[in-house]
Amino acid sequence: MAELSLALERVLAPVVRQARGLAKTKVPLEAEMAASRIVGRWSRLEIVGQSEPGDFLGQALVGYLETVGTDDALALAWGVGMVGGAGSFVGAWRITERMEAVGHQRPAWSGPRGQTRLDEAWMATDVFGDQDMLVGRFTYAGEGPHDVALLIDHNLMGMVKDIAVHPASHRLRDRWERARDIVVRDITDREFSDRVDDALRLLDMTWLPTVSEDTYLLRPLLDARRLHLPRPRPLKRRTVSRAARDRLCREFRASEVAATLGRTTELARWALDYASDYHGDPLRWSPIVVELFLADWLPGKVNLETDEVEALPGVLRAWLRFVGQKREFQAHLVAEMLAAVDAYEADFREAMADSSRFGFAKSLGMQMQADGVDFTDDAAVQAWIADFNARPLEERIERTGGPRLR
């Protein structure tokens, strides 16, 4: 126990030094942001036996701050209580009472947990549907408003990619409304709550997500703001039925843009199914989606014949023109998507011949194909898999190029 206490002190002492002068601030947002960055930095730690490391260390910090016994320590304890978990809040409240009893003064900005309210919310979405910017404007009693903004990336499954907090300004919304190819609309507190919850849930489900550092550091402050929002409801995920996909395929084949494709028109089904399965909309395409499709998904997942590899970029260009017509895109938007095909076409052809870029399932399927397995014969497939699994690990790795996280 003594060793644990000493280890905690080594972690907590530098945090206390960072809080010098915090008791003098008169702006509650500054105190909350300082505390959020402390608790948020701890949230990704792995502590044996602790499912909420941020709250565990927050409680430890609050207890340690009582032994420090300064006004700055009391201010930091209250800040951590405001943005930390329930345990941190209860601890902060208790030590505040004890420290006030011996002459310390509670910070001027202290107040009830979750004292802010949401005044308005809006959302800006790029025309391709790649990203949303969610903005909630919050106020404290007697204080100026501040904006909490989340960047949600739909090419990363819809998870939150960045969080920002700053004093409220009408210029933020004005800038987005003047931006080209951006749609801005007001949203209710219910929709704001639902969308924030969904984006955070997807972040928590993702292993090693590619997000900004502030996503973690300001998450505790955001969670504190959510205390008085409506209880979130799951967002409905759009699914595209097989019948709907077939109808769209027929419409594409009959379109003018596909008139010269001949039998290669069927390759458009890969694009349609990819966007349907990963984005919930077969027409949800953008330059970034083109990149992901050509340079990552097709090489990793799909086995194409040589002539199909040769034809696919041309079919994709026709498909994107069709998408542009269906979505009534302006010409420059279609041109941006076609430019992405030009940019990644060579990489696509190279990747389709590079086994190191194949996913494990694709590598396994290609081995079965090379061994002459009839994929329509379930017994033959199962026999091949049983034989493969019985082989030494080194041989399995060699035959498939090793397991990949795809």
pLDDT at 359: 64
Position 90: which residue type?
V
Rounded mean pLDDT, 85-113: 78
pLDDT at 396: 67
374-392, pLDDT tens digit by residue? Answer: 777 788 778 777 877 877 8
3-state helix, strand and coil shares in percent for the chain, rounded to the nearest 5: 60, 10, 30
Question: Is pLDDT larger for residue 379 or for residue 113?
Answer: 379
pLDDT tier for residue 114 given thresholds of 50, 70 and 90: low
pLDDT at 119: 94
Tell whether the model's pLDDT for residue 113 goes beyond 60: no
Helix, strand or coil, per DSSP, at residue 331: helix
Tell whether the model's pLDDT for residue 226 goes beyond 80: yes
- Lay out the sheet containing 146-153: strands in order across: 159-167, 146-153, 131-139, 117-126, 182-187
12-61, pLDDT tens digit by residue? Answer: 777 778 778 888 887 888 888 988 998 888 777 776 667 777 677 777 88
Question: Which residues, in sequence order, are CB contacts of 125 under 8 Å at separation 6+?
Answer: 131, 132, 133, 182, 183, 184
Tell whether the model's pLDDT for residue 135 goes beyond 90: yes
Q: What gap in Å lies between CA 213 and CA 40, rounded to an integer?
A: 9
Rounded mean pLDDT, 97-106: 84
Domain residue spans of the chain = 2-101, 117-228, 242-357, 360-400
Tell whether the model's pLDDT for residue 108 goes beyond 70: yes
pLDDT at 112: 56
pLDDT at 192: 98
H or E segment and range at residue 389:
helix 378-390
pTM: 0.85
H or E segment and range at residue 163:
strand 159-167
251-276, pLDDT tens digit by residue? Answer: 999 999 999 999 999 999 999 999 99
pLDDT at 53: 72
| Pair of tokens at residue 370 | 């090379």
Q: What gap in Å lies between CA 192 and CA 253, rounded to an integer?
A: 40
pLDDT at 86: 73
The whole-chain average pLDDT of the chain stands at 87
Tell whether the model's pLDDT for residue 238 goes beyond 80: yes
- What burial letters (b/e) apply to 155-165, b meaning 16+ CB within 10 Å? bbebbbbbbbb
Pick from 171, 177, 173, 83: nearest CA to 120: 173
